[in-house]
């Protein structure tokens, strides 16, 4: 890996004298090794500006914290520099809210087929809009391979000014998410006016009756709006269970629980009645999985690794995060200029 340093026009001490005793220069490449960067920062939201490239052709990707994909693999011709910017959320715990705290500060991993980081600058974000995620294990920042939630891959599709704060947590239902002080009671005070809050909870509501499930969704919607945020209801990704005719199985694949509660149908109804934007990820993933068929769809899930037809691989989570990005733009919730297509 080519790791270069772009020096400031004046030493840091001189910059501080020129700009005032309270000024601190941005955190830069002096915090990086050949494979990673660590920035000693308090929790918050930060803008990251990177210059990629070196003397030879390169291809660099960036991830951070608990395996969040922050920048897709980006090619730079020999001798050229490619500049990219993004906004990242730093918090404790850095992954799942009920998981381990992780490492304080901001940790970035430099990857790709031929990585070359020429420069990096990290500064506090001044005008960032948060996209909060409330969900389960199919959404969360999974602690390690081969698992990945779609929320873990969503940041790679966003440009500077949009940050993903992923508060999804494995095993949670609408009941447990509302009831655990580490979850909803922690997220709610953080929501600011204009923030988006995406809610995908259904996989673990296996014993939740229809009335309770609906009331829980309505409570989350009301709580987001009370803080000035914009709720977005998301139907759950399908499970990879096929009928003999190549269609997905109902009830297992399409999230109808043992009480006969059709979770996607209830979500659609609440969205319509409460005038809440809806991302119908059940419908989108159903079309995709059925189009790929029994064999082709295995790569989206952890079938090969774990015989798991519920949780997604990194590839599947990336594809599903792309569907969410498309819906956010299509619904007018995020400007097209704020997203990446690759």
**DSSP three-state, residue 88:** strand
Q: Kindly give the parts of the chain with pLDDT less than 50.
A: 1-23
Render pLDDT for 179-213 as a digit per residue (tens, 0 to 9).
Answer: 999 999 999 999 999 999 999 999 999 999 999 99
Q: Give the Cα separation of 200 and 133 in Å (integer).
A: 8
Render pLDDT for 237-266 as a digit per residue (tens, 0 to 9).
Answer: 999 999 999 999 999 999 999 999 999 999
| Fold designation for 25-125 | Jelly Rolls (2.60.120)
Where exactly does CATH 2.60.120.260 map onto the chain? Answer: 25-125
H helices within the chain, ranges in order?
12-19, 150-153, 174-179, 184-187, 210-226, 263-274, 281-296, 303-306, 314-330
Across the chain, mean pLDDT equals 93
- The number of helix segments (H) and strand segments (E) in the chain equals 9, 15
Q: Give the Cα separation of 227 and 189 in Å (integer).
A: 8
Using N-to-C axis directions, what is the helix angle for 281-296 and 314-330, rounded to 10°?
150
Token output for 169: 């947590």
CATH number belonging to the domain at 127-342, selected among 3.30.70.1140, 3.20.130.10, 1.10.3720.10, 3.40.50.1110: 3.40.50.1110
Neighbour count for residue 42 (Cβ, 10 Å):
11
Where exactly does CATH 3.40.50.1110 map onto the chain? Answer: 127-342
Residues 6+ apart with CB under 8 A from 18: 10
């Amino acid at each position: 890996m080519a790791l270069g340093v772009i020096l400031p026009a004046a030493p840091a001490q001189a910059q501080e004298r020129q700009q005032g005793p309270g000024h601190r220069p941005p955190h830069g490449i002096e915090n990086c090794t050949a494979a990673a960067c660590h920035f000693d920062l308090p929790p918050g939201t930060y803008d990251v500006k990177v210059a990629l490239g070196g003397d030879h052709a390169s291809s660099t990707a960036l991830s951070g914290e608990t395996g969040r994909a922050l920048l897709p693999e980006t090619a730079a011709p020999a001798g050229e520099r490619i500049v990219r910017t993004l906004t990242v959320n730093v918090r404790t715990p850095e992954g799942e809210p009920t998981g381990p705290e992780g490492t304080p500060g901001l940790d970035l991993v430099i990857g790709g087929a031929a990585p070359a980081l020429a420069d990096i600058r990290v500064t506090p974000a001044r005008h960032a809009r948060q996209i909060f995620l409330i969900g389960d294990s199919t959404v969360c920042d999974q602690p390690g391979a081969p698992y990945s939630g779609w929320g873990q891959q969503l940041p790679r599709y966003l440009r500077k000014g949009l940050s993903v704060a992923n508060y999804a947590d494995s095993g949670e239902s609408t009941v447990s998410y509302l009831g655990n002080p580490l979850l909803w009671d922690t997220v709610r005070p953080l929501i600011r006016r204009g923030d988006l809050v995406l809610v995908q909870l259904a996989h673990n509501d296996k014993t939740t009756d229809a009335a309770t499930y609906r009331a829980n969704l309505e409570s989350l919607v009301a709580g987001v709006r009370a803080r000035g945020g914009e709720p977005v209801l998301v139907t759950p990704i399908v499970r990879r269970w096929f009928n003999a005719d190549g269609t997905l199985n109902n009830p297992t694949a399409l999230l109808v629980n043992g009480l006969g509660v059709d979770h996607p149908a209830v979500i659609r109804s609440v969205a319509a009645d409460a005038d809440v934007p809806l991302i119908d990820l059940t419908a989108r993933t159903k079309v995709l999985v059925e189009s790929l068929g029994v064999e082709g769809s295995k790569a989206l899930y952890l079938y090969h690794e774990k015989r798991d037809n519920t949780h997604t691989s990194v590839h599947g989570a990336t594809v599903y995060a792309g569907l969410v990005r498309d819906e956010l733009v299509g619904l007018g919730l995020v400007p097209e200029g704020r997203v990446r297509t690759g």
